[in-house]
Amino acid sequence: MGWKMIYLARRNPALAPEQFPQAWREHSALGAGCTNVRDKVLSVTQCSRVLEGAPLPGAATDYDGVNLLVLRDLQAASDIWNDAETLAIMRPDEPRVFSTYVRDFTLVCEEQVVRNQPRSGTCVVGFLRRRDGLAEAEWRLRLMQSVPSAWMVSGPFAKAQRVVLNAVCRPPPPGYEFDAIGEWWFDSADDARAAFGPQDLRSQLPASLATIADLPRSVFMFTRVTHSRP
């Protein structure tokens, strides 16, 4: 188990989709120069939407990237927003890169690694909402009952090299009311395309997950790693 901040980003509309990864890397370089960011954020993995080749049916195109930040501890998720150096250096740069401020699209999660293989270069990320009428406690119970078996051996998801479940553990910002975030890592974009085929990826979710998730309001991203540290 570990703690993460995960954000689902839209780019500043002034940037072309192809320009976003470089602008995002430049923003990350500012963070690397901040003492508290270096101390509290153990790793950064920027995953930009795959733009080359065939799309993955069912994957969103109205977002541009997912950032996976591994935290030293849960307290870091609060401290980082109040750090004077970070506010002075990083926050003024955020509107240059993103559609709004990072805090407005960031979720705090508890991580569970389901299949522990090395991270590869391509990730399908699922931002999952629970069905209306399903209490949070019931959602968590049924979700955990489906882990790890359904997440690892069901359909195309069985072909993922690394699988991670992130349970959202703090109130999300408005518009990002997700309850869990899944990571399915593939060796390449072509491997992910081959695994899912021409069908909408949402139709291929494990039944134990599909019956409790609100799939029309969930968001799936087809991404590749465009920057990471260390």
* Residue 89, token pair as written in the block: 């250096």
> pTM to 2 decimals?
0.95
Number of domains in the chain: 1
- In this predicted structure, the answer to whether residue 84 has a pLDDT above a threshold of 70 is yes
Q: Which amino acid is at 170?
A: R
In the chain, what is the greatest distance between 2 CA atoms, to the nearest angstrom?
Answer: 48
Ranking 128-132, 146-150, 156-160, 163-167 by mean pLDDT, the lowest is 146-150
Which CATH number characterizes residue 6's domain?
A: 3.30.70.100
Q: What per-residue confidence (pLDDT) applies to 125?
A: 97
Structural domain of residue 117, as residue ranges? 2-229
pLDDT at 157: 85
